[in-house]
Amino acid sequence: MQRIHSVEPAKAQGRTKELLETVEKAFGTTPNVAKVMANSPAVLDSFLSISTAMGGAKIGSKLHHQIKLATSEANTCDYCNSILTYLGNKGGISSTEILDGRKASSHDARTDAALKFASTVLETRGKVDNDDLQAARQAGFDDTEIVEIVTSVVVGCFTNFLNNVADTALDIPKVEPLQACATSGGCGCA
């Protein structure tokens, strides 16, 4: 059961109402995660701002999305795994690319290097060693892209942690964690 109140758009007022209307226009619906964030207009506004800004990231929206998937899987966030899979499918990211993100690996060497670096950033809480940073650079990532990879991890962690604390109610089809997929034979991400 959800542990933090959702702000219903019909009852919202002032800046909160404006922000939820922005979400509705962007997605055609208001996901529960936005309703949880709406408890603090500052939080929802910040999330929308960074999400919009990251849409123009040099690493591209697909890699940004895959990094958030890798982070969500590592942080066992059912809500984020589910909504990112749903949005990825709607946004033209293939099922294989979604699964690659969740596994933090790819057959594409550059994507694989980014996902591995992102995983190391998460695992070490940003205290990567020089070899990790050099591996990202050797894969062709410059300082701009490295900063964007780290930011993608942080954005993923923000939504993961908030949804895990709130136990945000799913309003999209559930995607099973990869460990459950291995034992049950299907994860719903195809």
Distance CA 188, CA 181 (A): 8
C-alpha to C-alpha distance for 74 and 181, rounded to whole angstroms: 15
Report the percent of the chain where pLDDT is more than 70. Answer: 94
Residues 85 and 38 sit within 8 Å (Cβ to Cβ): no
Contact 69, 88 (CB under 8 A): yes
> Which two three-digit tokens encode residue 132?
């990790």
Reported confidence tier of residue 27, pLDDT bands at 50, 70, 90: confident
Q: Which helix (H) or strand (E) is 176 found in, with range?
A: none
User: Residues 97-123: pLDDT tens digits?
Assistant: 999 999 999 999 999 999 999 999 999
Kindly list the domain boundaries of the chain, sorted by start residue.
9-54, 61-184
Please tell us whether the domain made up of 61-184 is placed in CATH 1.20.1290.10: yes
Mean pLDDT of 31-41: 98
What would the mean pLDDT of 160-176 be, rounded to a whole number?
96
Mind listing the pLDDT tens digit for each residue in 2-22? 999 999 999 999 999 999 999
**What are the structure tokens assigned to 150, written together?**
């780290």
In this predicted structure, the answer to whether residue 181 has a pLDDT above a threshold of 70 is: no
Q: What is the mean pLDDT of the segment spanning 110-137? A: 98
Asked whether 178 and 102 are in contact (CB, 8 A), the reply is: yes
Mean pLDDT of 30-56: 97
pLDDT of 189 reads: 46
Measured CA to CA, the distance from residue 86 to residue 16 in angstroms comes to 25
What does pTM read for this prediction? Answer: 0.92
- Distance, CA of 8 to CA of 144 (rounded, Å): 38
What pLDDT, on a 0 to 100 scale, did the predictor assign at position 180?
Answer: 55
